[in-house]
Structures are given as structure tokens and as C-alpha cells.
Amino acid sequence: MRVLRWPVEVQELEQLRRRGVPRLLVVENGATPPVPSDAREDWIRAPVNRDDFAARVAALRARAGTHRVPVLDQDGLLRYGSRVVPVSPTQMNLLEPLVERYGTLVARQELIALLRARRGTASQNALDLNIMRIRRRLAPLGLRIRTANARGYLLEPSE
């Protein structure tokens, strides 16, 4: 969880929103607070009362715990909840847009272009093979990649 000053740290806020990191905004100087974008965001006005701050943090953590998102780090480790799996550089390259846009469609052509940029050439069959391998890596995490026929893929929890 991150604590940010609003509106001073608005750029960092956007990055944290994209990554699904829980965040508490401390609204300064009478600024108008933003409308929270999801259950992983809340705000409190400065000056902050210690008890109020602790209560907001506890509530935010409780809400955020029900909205897990995967995180892919620079070392090629994919984390979801308390579980972690290593992925290859090629898998990492393909997973980046899927993790970044968790729960939304990533176009098949975009993934083929990423594969082509990494290897020099790529085909739909090469993408299909890589997606199959990634699916096997994701299963122990409780994640899956769903196919939207002829359009693309989306990363979501397996239920």
C-alpha cells in the first residue's frame, strides 16, 4: 500500500492505478479530492489525525485484499496473491501487456508484434505455442488466459 500527497503526486498515482497498487491519498491545502477510481483507493484530508489515518489504512487494506491483481517484476517473477512463478524473458514480454491491462482484451496482433520484435519473426502459431506455455505457468497462481476468438487474449482469475 502507498500513501501519496494529493495533488502533488498525481503522476505517481496514475502509475499505481495502472498497477493496481492500493493507495491512500492525503489531500493537502484544501484541494478537491479525486473520486476514487476503485476499491483500492481512498483519501483523507490533511492535517491527518492518527486514529483516522489508522482506520482508513485498515479499511483500505481490507477492501484491497478482495481485489488482487498480478504483478510482473523486472526479474521475471509473476506474483499473484502470496504465490510467485518465474517466467522466461519471452513469456515476460508477452505477459507485460496482459498484466498491465488485467481483465481487459489485448489484441492478438499486438502480441504477435511483441514476439516479432523479440525474435525477428513471429507467426500466429508461434504466439499460440507461447500462450500455451504461459497458461501452464499461470495455473498454480490461480490465473488463466482466456481467448477471444481471432481478436486477442485477456488475463483473469481462474475460478
Measured distance CA(82)–CA(89) in Å, rounded:
22
pLDDT tens for each residue of 117-154: 988 888 899 999 999 999 999 999 999 999 998 899 99
CATH 1.10.10.10 in the chain, residue ranges: 71-157
pLDDT tens for each residue of 29-87: 889 999 887 788 999 999 999 999 999 998 888 877 666 788 898 899 999 887 899 99
Cβ neighbourhood burial of 125 (10 Å; 0-12, 13-18, 19+): exposed
CATH of domain 71-157: 1.10.10.10
Measured distance CA(107)–CA(128) in Å, rounded:
13
For the entire predicted model, the pTM comes to: 0.62
Residue 87 to residues 7, 74, 102, Cα–Cα distance (Å)? 37, 11, 17
Measured distance CA(159)–CA(144) in Å, rounded:
9
State how beta strands 152-157 and 143-148 pair: antiparallel
Task: For residue 18, give every residue at least 6 positions away whose Cβ sits within 8 Å of its Cβ, in sequence order, or none.
Answer: 100
Measured distance CA(40)–CA(1) in Å, rounded:
9
Residue 118 in grid coordinates? 523479440
Which helix (H) or strand (E) covers residue 152, if one does? strand 152-157
Q: Is it the case that residue 2 has pLDDT exceeding 80?
A: yes
